[in-house]
A and B are shown apart, each in its own frame.
Chain A
């Protein structure tokens, strides 16, 4: 009896799945990150977990805004879906832009800083941050949609 009640409470502790939608522009990304932050409030995440989520999602969304939709499309839809499971927050970011041009495996190598001053990199950090802070990063393309999936662990101290 007691085990059942405890198990029920554990299920209730997981946040119900939610979705945040936005259009493909930078200010919409800011608002979406705020909406995600608000949706996660019941979890009372520590600062570092919140930061990880914000940074990973910012990088993923920036990629979509920058590369998935061409500049002429101002109203491209992007959906962020979140499912809270025992092993962390499972995210799916879906858009209807052009397909990712590289495999996930090929993306996100550490950027080489051992270069001349004028060759110091001004970009290329995004995928590295995503793959460093998130687990199980994977990509599929179905029915004209890009779907990026990843998992962010929360509630553990480093």
Chain B
């Protein structure tokens, strides 16, 4: 599970380089996210623009990552591909996360 990160003053971008967050890598993803988010800015943008497929394990891993960060911090999701967005919509998990259509849009808004 490859994550690429970029830290700005008030937020951190974590970009997933893998094209799938599924049962095969869910645990790895959770561990990698914990390592990236336990310290640093209180706002983390998870860039999912390269992710073409998530299953319920992947969804659960993203929820777990948010819970692990704690209620005081924010995990926003950016760049959801249509397939991934659909999974969030079907499960109504799109109401649980702050979603940005694009990473650039997320960065612009968070820099204000």
Contact = CB atoms under 8 A, between A and B. Distances in A.
A87 interface: no
B24 A26 contact: yes
Given A58-B55, A113-B96, A122-B63, A30 B24 contact: yes
A119 to B, nearest CB: 9
A55 B20 contact: no
A27 B22 CA distance: 10
A113 B94 CA distance: 11
Q: Number of contact residues on B: which range applies?
A: 20 to 34
Contact of B56 (A29, A110, A113, A125): A125
A122 B58 CA distance: 9
Main secondary structure of the interface of A (DSSP, over half): helix
B20 A30 contact: yes
Contacts of B23: 26, 29, 58, 62, 65-66
Q: Number of contact residues on A: which range applies?
A: 20 to 34
A129 interface: yes
A110 B24 contact: no
A139 interface: no
A129 B87 contact: yes
B7 interface: no
Contacts of B93: 113
A125 B71 contact: no
B96 A128 contact: no
Given A51-B83, A110-B92, A132-B90, A62 B56 contact: yes
A31 to B, nearest CB: 10
Interface of A: 26-27, 29-30, 47, 51, 54-55, 58-59, 62, 65-66, 110-111, 113, 117-118, 120-126, 128-129, 132-133
